[in-house]
Amino acid sequence: MKIELIPAIDIIGGKCVRLTKGDYSQKKVYNEDPVSQAREFERLGFKRLHVVDLDGAKAKHIVNDAVLRGITAATSLKVDFGGGIKSEEDIEKAFAAGAAMVTVGSIAVSQPQTFLGWLKTYGAEKIILGADVRNGFVSINGWKEDSKEELLPFLTRYVEAGVKNVLCTDISKDGTLAGPATELYCKVMKAFPHIHLIASGGVSSDEDILALDEAGIPAVVFGKAWYEGRIDLEKLKK
C-alpha cells in the first residue's frame, strides 16, 4: 500500500473532538488529552499527524498553540497544523510550537497575494493549500462561508504558482462516515498528477482507505472512523 496514512486530532477547548459536516453544535469529545492521543498514534506506528485548531478557525487566529507544543514536545510525529492561520504571526506561532507544515485555506481565497508571499517565504514543502469544498465551491473561515471560487480553477492558480501539497476536504462528507469523495479526488489527481493530494472527509473504514490507495490518491486523513473503531490497522499494513 502506497497511500500515506494521517490520523487527525481536532481541538476545541483543549480537547480532542470531531464535528459532523463542520457543525460546531454537532461535537463529540473523544479524548480529554490530545497529547496522550498523539502518543498513542505514534506508538501504533504512524509517522504523521494532522492537527486542526477548531477554536482558531472560529476565532480567525491560532488559539491552541499550547496543545500543539505539547504534542510536538511529547512525540516525534511530523505534525501539519491548520485552523485560524490568518497572519504571518500565526504561521510563526505554529512553527515555533513545532509544526512541520501549516495548512492555509481561507487566506488563499481572500488574500491571494499574501498566500503567495507565504509560499515564497516558507517554501512549498512547508505550506499545505487547504481546499475545503462544498457543492463545488471552496469554503472558508471554519466552513462558515462559501466563496465564489470553484475548486479546479482555484487549484490551477496555485499549483502553477508552485503549490505541491493540497488538503482537499468534501465538507458534505466530513464526520459522516458516509465514504470519501473518491470521484472528486480522482478528478483533482487527473488535473494535477504531480501534487501530493491529501484526501479528507467521509472515511468510514479500512476498505475506504484501500479504495483510495487503489485509485492512486497519495494520502488520506481520517478521524471519526478511527475513534469509532472502524479502521483495522493490521489490514492496512498488509
Write out the catalytic residue numbers.
10, 132
- Environment class of residue 136 by beta-carbon count within 10 Å: exposed (0-12), middle (13-18) or buried (19+)? exposed
CB-based contact 180:141 (threshold 8 Å): no
Q: What is the 3-state secondary structure (H, E, C) of 58-116?
A: HHCCCCCHHHHHHHHHHCCCEEEEECCCCCHHHHHHHHHCCCCEEEECHHHHHCHHHHH
- The DSSP secondary-structure symbol of 5 reads E
Place of cell 485509485: 215
| Cα dihedral across residues 221, 225, 227, 233: positive or negative | negative
The whole-angstrom separation of Cα 98 and Cα 76 is 10
Strand bridging mode 219-222 / 196-200: parallel
Whats the size of the chain, residue-wise? 238
Question: Residue 88 contacts by C-beta under 8 Å, 6 or more apart in sequence?
Answer: 118
Q: Using CA atoms, how far apart are residues 179 and 23, in angstroms rounded to an integer?
A: 18
φ, ψ for residue 56 (rounded to 5)? -65, -40
